[in-house]
Amino acid sequence: MKIGIICDDYWHPGKLIKEGLEPLGKQGFQLDYTQHASEWSRAWMDQQDVVVLAKSNQVSATDTTPWLTEEIQLQFQSYVEQGKGLLVLHAGTVGYRDEPVFFELVGGVFQHHPAACSVTIVHKDETPWDKAHAQDFTVHDEHYFMEVIDDRIQVLMTSESEHGTQPAGWIREQGKGRVCVLTPGHLLSVLQMEEYQATIKQALKWCGGSDR
């Protein structure tokens, strides 16, 4: 399965995302990274089975100009509706509240987070993948608080901390394609956790339609 990964912003360096996701390259996924927004193109996306957005709305780590224009939003929408998959990972939810096409496609965006703390990820019983690959776990991470469009998403897991409970993973389908959002993953230790790696792997397979 070909996976295109869009990453690198001020708070989430591309190097961290690469190190966090690289173990997936040993499990049958072909990983192709693009970091600077100028490197993005629809032609590049069309080469991928699933696109992972792990980048906030910034051109790069050194250029905080928003990159997701209305035209690019429509390209993401079209990419999914034509049958491809989109996995939005952690930073990929940040800075997109005022991008309506993307907000509705993804079904939710980042609002804020308290200081990093102990966060427990709890999987719901309703999941599109094997429950054996949906293990609960506790990490030291940023606890993302999200604004979601309830009637557009199916929540698969929640995040719990002293600050409350939030949706931490959900799925939705649009047209012929699929979208999944996973909010944990600010720290390399979280991305590399065996339990979270299993969740990301299953999300990629689902987004790519391997169960069809």
Query: pLDDT by residue (tens digit) across 56-70?
Result: 999 999 999 999 999
Token reading at 19:
């190190």
> Is 16 domain-assigned?
yes
Cα dihedral sign, 140-142-143-144: negative
Report if residue 6 sits inside a domain.
yes
pLDDT at 126: 80
Query: How much is the average pLDDT of 15-41?
Result: 95
Per-residue pLDDT at 129 exceeds 80: no
Q: Is 212 domain-assigned?
A: no
HEC assignment per residue over 49-100 = CEEEEECCCCCCCCCCCCCCCHHHHHHHHHHHHCCCEEEEEHHHHCCCCCCH
Nearest C-alpha neighbor of 53 from the set 78, 22, 88: 88
Q: Check if the beta carbon of residue 136 is closer than 8 Å to that of residue 104.
A: no
In a domain, 20, yes or no: yes
Please give the tally of structural domains in the chain: 1
10: domain range?
Answer: 2-207
pLDDT at 210: 77
Task: Number of helices (H) and strands (E) in the chain: give both, helices first.
Answer: 6, 11
Provide the CATH number for the domain around residue 144. 3.40.50.880
User: Which whole number is the average pLDDT over 48-56?
Assistant: 98
